[in-house]
């Protein structure tokens, strides 16, 4: 959520109930109503659930996701840390160009590219920023 905005995250999932196992983990791991992206993925892995289920339970408990691993949201004071690179690595530039559809890629594809090329996820976010590629469909449902 961008600075200055506040909303009831649970409204996105009317009629759903929080998963009790995930809810228990969130009560242990969230701090001041926030949960970092990496911690959300750790919870999903440990409980063997889809990351989206952790995101839904966060929303239902009004816990904000923070510190996106690609750098797109949840950082103070400027909301995001992703910046345009002067010149992305050629292999990264090539992989992103091949993966994009209409100047967009999914979060999952961004992660796959980072793993395949052995670069940080934020490096992928920075390259996307440089190339004008929007990253959509957060695996946790944040964007």
What pLDDT is stored for residue 1 in this prediction? 45
* Distance between CA atoms of residues 14 and 121, nearest Å: 32
- Kindly give the parts of the chain with pLDDT less than 50: 1, 3-4
Residues ≥6 apart with Cβ < 8 Å to 32: none
Closest CA to 2 of 85, 52, 57, 64: 64
Domain that holds residue 100: 90-136
What pLDDT is stored for residue 26 in this prediction? 97
Does the residue 124 lie in any domain?
A: yes
Does the residue 125 lie in any domain?
A: yes
The residues that bridge with 58 in the sheet, in sequence order, are none
Does the residue 128 lie in any domain?
A: yes
Domain boundary among 50, 66, 82: 66
């Amino acid at each position: 959520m961008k600075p200055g905005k506040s909303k009831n995250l649970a409204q996105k999932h009317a009629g759903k109930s929080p998963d009790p196992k995930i809810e228990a983990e969130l009560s242990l791991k969230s701090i001041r109503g926030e949960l970092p992206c990496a911690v959300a993925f750790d919870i999903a892995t440990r409980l063997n659930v889809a990351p989206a289920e952790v995101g839904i339970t966060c929303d239902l408990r009004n816990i904000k996701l923070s510190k996106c691993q690609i750098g797109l949201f949840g950082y103070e004071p400027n909301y995001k840390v992703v910046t345009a690179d002067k010149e992305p690595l050629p292999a990264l530039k090539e992989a992103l160009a091949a993966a994009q559809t209409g100047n967009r890629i999914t979060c999952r594809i961004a992660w796959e590219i980072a793993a395949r090329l052995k670069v940080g996820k934020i490096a992928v976010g920075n390259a996307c920023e440089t190339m004008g590629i929007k990253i959509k469909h957060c695996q946790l449902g944040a964007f």
